[in-house]
Structure 1
Amino acid sequence: MKISVNFIFLSIILMAGTIMFGLAGISYYTHEVRDELEEDVLIVEHTYQSLDKMEIDFLLARRYEKDFLLRLDPKYIEKHAGAMQHLYEVEHTLEDEVAQIDGLNDQIEPLLELMAAAKAYDQKFAELVESHRILGMDETDGLQGTLHKAAHHLENRLEETGHPELEVKVLMLEVHERDFMWHQDSKYLDRFNAQVEAFLAFPPEYYANAAEQAEIIGIMEEYQHAFEAYVAEAQKEKELRKALSGYYAQAEPLLAAIHEAAENELEAIVEATHIASNEAKFYSMLASAIGTVIFLGTAALLARSMSKPLGKLETVLHGIINSDFTEEPPKSRLSEIASISSAVAVFRQGEMKKDQLTQDISEVISACAEGDFSRRIATDDSDGTFAELGKGVNSIGEVAQKGLGDVLSALAALSQGDLTKSMPEGQKGIFKEISDATENLNHSLGGMVAQLTNSSDMLKNTSNEIAAAADDASQRSERTSASIVETAGTLQTLGGTVKDTAENSQQARTIVTSAQERARTTQELAQQTNQAMERIEASSGAIAKIISMIEDVAFQTSLLALNAGVEAARAGEAGRGFAVVASEVRSLAHRSAEAAQEINDLISTSEKEVAEGVKLVGQTGSSLEEILTMVEEVVEKVNEIADNTVEQSKSIAQVNGRVDALDSDAQQNAAMLEETAASGQMLRDEANNLVQIVSNFELPTDSPTTPDFVDEDAVFDGDTWAA
């Protein structure tokens, strides 16, 4: 009983569908478990991201706090408020998410503590901002502006009194004020108050009247109260900074702990997801393995019943392709394979006959390729396309054998110099063309040989004439060369005389040029001397300015010594030694001023002498310029004479060189004419050899001795013969 291939494929498809249905059920269950776990992962990941946002917002708020304290720019207050507002919004969302996660219920209380610390931090920052507004955002605002206005008012009022001692005390107060602003240390307030007490201790003599004293003391007290208020507020601001840092330090570990708990919960859920996924993969792989084993076993049995006969057919077909007909087509119970096997058997029989005929044709073609056209193909008991092909190959061999034999006969005669032999008549095709070409070749060669015979005679006569003419020209060239040698000797003598004159002119040019350079060097030295005198004059002026500055310093030193004496007198017995030192300083300042005046007088005298020297050096430079101008004119004339002499020497040298060239050319011409005579002799010998070679050819009886297309007196111009 034979089975159809369609039935086999239908059975395989049904079995594969059953296995795929089972795998789809397992896959559906796996996806359900995975979706539930992914939902939990998404919630925890969102919680984790919310905690990251809170941490970023808290860090941004801290950064804006530092930027505000560093730059005191109000824009950072708004940025700080925005960061905290976003933190509160994230916190409200985070409370709902933490309540949905069983593993994070214990983090609700730390989250509330975190928000309490964040709100306290925000409140303290607002108080810190208000404190800075009270202190002033810049030097013109708030307590800082009031303090600077009071100090400026006091400075202006004290300048009107004309007492430097009072101004010095105010300067010390401003120094203590700056020190406190830099260091924020309360000790500078005590120093400030001590300086105020010292200022108030000045006697009434430092003031114009009692009203002025009362006014200045009132301004001083206003300045003191402004500084005390600034110090109190600055100390408050310092405490607010500490409190702000404390609340931030309290909130930071709470946020880190909640963050860590969320990370641990996320890792636990991911681990549970991996376990569930691995279990689902195991059961899916088990079901797939069982189904695959069943499917492969059944498919192997079915495939074996198909592959064995098909493999046998493949072997038979490969044998036919390789001309091996020993294998027989197989038999099979499958109807389709049985039909294919019958068709292959019929094809095998036809290919066996074609292979035999192909071998015969190949042998004949191989023999023709080797030059043997006598082989033939036996086609008596064959018919069809290959039989007709064999008959055609036999016809080609016969025609080729006859035509090539005729060509061989004609070429053999031509190789012996016989130009009368031609191919037999009756040729066809390519052999007809070869026959015509052979006839044309014989005719062309006959004309060329006749032409060569005539040309050989002409070449012999011409070579004799060339040899005679070359001998005569060689003798004339020798006489011309002797005359040129005598002329060259005369020109060399004249050139030597002109060359000596040119060398003497060059020496004169060198001497005059040296004189010019020395004159120019003398002028440059005069200019440098003038410039040096001008620099001395400028230096004298600068020294005078320095002496004037020394006099001013001596005057200021004397004034300071006077003030120091006043302070020492005010100090009484304790300042007596300082008064003696101040007196000595005044004496030294007076002597310094006198010495500076004497130096100034000496410098004035030097300036006058230097100015007179500058004038004399300038006159010397003018005289040297006139001398240099006359020397340059002499140099120009000597240069013209030298240039003309050198030009004459060069011209005579050129004429001498050309005469030498004529002598060399004449000698070369004589040598070339001798070579030409020798070549003419060789040409005569070669013409005799050519006549002897041409006489060996056998020409047709109707071929003329001298061709009609070449005249006896014709001349070959390189391409054609012309009469």
Structure 2
Amino acid sequence: MLAITGVILTGAICLAGLHFGTEAQRQADSSVLLRSHVTSLSDNYSEAGQIGADFLRKPTEKLVDRYDHVLQQALSHLAETEKLVEAVETDAPQQISALRSGMNLYATRFHNIIAAQRIIGFSDKDGLQGKLGSAARQLELRLSELDQPRLTMLFLAMRINEKDFALRGDDKYFDRLRERVAEFETALKSSDLSEQQKAETTALVRTYEQAFMAYSVSQSSLNEEAEDFASVFARTRPPLLILSKFATDRYEAAARHADETRDLLSSSIKFAILGIGLLALIFGQRIAKSISRMTQAMQQLASGRSRPCAARSRSQRRNRRDGAGGRILQGQGRRTCRRAG
């Protein structure tokens, strides 16, 4: 009976440990997966920001394709993260919602930058940059034919303002260039060139001015979009940091819970084994004492120093106290009394 009880108790502890261990492992696996998705999301988001910065410095179609690919990966990790935390009683779902809105706005701003950059041109030979460069070269060629140093100096001043605007994006260079254009037209009228030469040169300088105006307006729009792009990136970063901290805390909590569960299961098994061992020792000693007393009684009966019935009576009383082992010897005592009688 004691062995059966020990087996049942040990089995119950093992089943309970298996249940809690499985639950702890499920939480640990979920936390590892959550942390993995959030880490990948953070990496993709940072990479997208770097691609955006690289595109603003040197726009290429390759960067556009790479950005779209990285952004899709980030949104995929965000969707998986949302599934893992939707049942959690925290503010993580709110942070995911804010992060998703920020990433969608971030993507919109970047595509606005791409559209503006396509109008301006990915190189100095494309788009408005190409038209501006072509107008500048035609005017420069015309001035080289006319041999007018004053007009050439004013044109060089225009080109300097053009380059300064392209580098700094400050509207003051736009105003300065228009002032140089006005000075150029005034100097052209007072020159000794023919009326046809003046008309042709005026048309070229106005083409250059219009090309620069179109370029400057588009460049200013691109600069504004770039500023919004950087602002959206900065605003979206805090929810991502909060989500990363949540994933890390949950991972560490799951790891602690798994360790505690293993320790609890180990301690329970140890205490169960110890308890069963103590019970076995106690009952073993009692049974051994009963056997010893019954052996002495049987020896006394065999030697004729005690009455069988009295020995049986005392043996019966002891057997009632000593349990199953005593009952076995009690039956032997009865048979001996019958033979002695």
TM (norm. structure 2) is 0.76
From 56, 66, 76, the counterpart of 1:89: 76
Answering whether residue 181 of structure 2 is matched by residue 181 of structure 1, we say: no
Q: Which residue of 2 aligns with 1:26?
A: 13
**Mapping for residues 42-57 of structure 1, pairs under 5 Å:** 42-57=29-44
Which piece of structure 1 moves more, 28-37 or 77-86?
Answer: 28-37
AA of the residue aligned to 1:239: E
Partner of 1:248: 233
Deviations 1:481-530 (A, max 9, x none): xxxxxxxxxxxxxxxxxxxxxxxxxxxxxxxxxxxxxxxxxxxxxxxxxx
Equivalent in the alignment of 2:117: 132
Give the Cα separation in 2 of the matches to 1:197 and 1:84: 48
Per the alignment, residue 36 of structure 1 pairs with 23
Give CA-to-partner distance per residue, 1:446-483, whole Å, 9 cap, x none. xxxxxxxxxxxxxxxxxxxxxxxxxxxxxxxxxxxxxx
Paired residues of 1:161 and 1:207 also in contact (CA < 8 A): no
Q: Which residue in 2 is equivalent to 1:120?
A: 105
Q: Give the conservation status (yes or no) of the 8 Å contact 2:59–2:122.
A: yes
Size of the aligned set, in residue pairs, is 285
For 1:185, the aligned partner's letter is D
Matches within 5 A, 1:257-406: 257-293=242-278
Whole-angstrom distance in 1 between the partners of 2:265 and 2:194: 106
Picking from 216, 232, 256, the partner of 2:217 is 232
- CA drift at 1:43: 1.9
> Using the alignment, how far apart are the partners of 2:207 and 2:154 within structure 1?
16
Amino acid at match of 1:152: R
Shift of 1:144: 0.9
Q: What per-residue deviation string (whole Å, max 9, x for no partner) do you get for residues 58-110 of structure 1?
A: 11111111121222121011111011111222222222222233x34x32222
The answer on 1:169 being equivalent to 2:154 is: yes
1:145 to 127, 130, 136: 130
Tell me: CA distance 1:120–1:24, structure 2 relative to 1, closer, same or farther (3 Å): same
SS at match of 2:187: coil
**2:196 is the alignment partner of 1:211:** yes
Query: Which residue identity is paired with 1:186?
Result: D
Match of 2:186 among 191, 197, 201: 201
Residue 63, structure 1, aligned to residue 50, structure 2? yes
Q: Does structure 2 retain, via aligned residues, the 8 Å contact 1:136–1:145?
A: yes
C-alpha RMSD of the superposition: 2.7
Shift of 1:178: 1.5
The residue type equivalent to 2:212 in the other structure is F
SS in 1 for 2:170: coil
C-alpha separation in 1, matches of 2:189 and 2:167:
35
1:308-328 C-alpha deviation (Å, 9 max, x unpaired):
xxxxxxxxxxxxxxxxxxxxx
Q: Which residue of 1 aligns with 2:85?
A: 98
Q: Output the CA distance in 2 between the equivalents of 1:159 and 1:49.
A: 65
After TM superposition, give the deviation of residue 222 of structure 1 in Å: 0.7
Q: Counterpart of 1:100 in 2: which secondary structure?
A: coil
Gap runs ≥5 in structure 1: 1-13, 303-723
**Distance in structure 1 (CA, Å) of the matches to 2:70 and 2:279:** 66
Aligned-pair distance for 1:32? 1.6
Partner of 1:108: 93
Q: Check conservation: 2:44, 2:73, Cα contact below 8 A.
A: yes
Counterparts of residues 585-604 of structure 1 (less than 5 Å): none
Maintained 8 Å contact 1:120/1:247: yes
Q: How does 1:643-658 map to 2 (within 5 A)?
A: none
Identical pairs, percent: 21
1:79 matched residue in structure 2: 66
Separation (CA, whole Å) in 2 of partners of 1:204 and 1:235: 32
- Asked if 2 retains the 8 angstrom alpha-carbon contact of 1:135 and 1:233, the reply is yes
Within a 5 Å distance, the mapping from 1:412-561 to structure 2 comes to: none
Larger radius of gyration: 1
CA contact (8 A) 1:68 1:74 kept: no
The answer as to whether partners of 1:147 and 1:223 remain within 8 angstroms in 2 is yes
String of CA shifts for 1:269-328, please: whole Å, max 9, x gaps. Answer: 4444444443333321112123445678979xx9xxxxxxxxxxxxxxxxxxxxxxxxxx
Change (3 A) 1:85 1:203: closer
Q: 1:90 to 1:205 in 2, by over 3 A?
A: closer
Deviations 1:218-273 (A, max 9, x none): 11011111111111111111111111111111111111112223333444444444
Q: TM-score, normalised by structure 1?
A: 0.37
Q: Equivalents in 2 of 1:205, 1:30: separation in Å? A: 101
> Quick one: distance in 1 between partners of 2:58 and 2:188?
45
Q: What per-residue deviation string (whole Å, max 9, x for no partner) do you get for residues 564-602 of structure 1?
A: xxxxxxxxxxxxxxxxxxxxxxxxxxxxxxxxxxxxxxx
CA contact (8 A) 2:188 2:198 kept: no
Q: What CA distance in whole angstroms lies between the structure 2 residues aligned with 1:280 and 1:60?
A: 45
- Residue 135 of structure 2 aligns with an amino acid whose one-letter code is A
Do the aligned partners of residues 32 and 203 (structure 1) sit closer, same or farther apart at CA in structure 2, a change above 3 Å counting?
A: closer
Task: Please tell me whether the aligned partners of residues 151 and 188 of structure 2 are also in contact (alpha carbons under 8 angstroms).
Answer: no
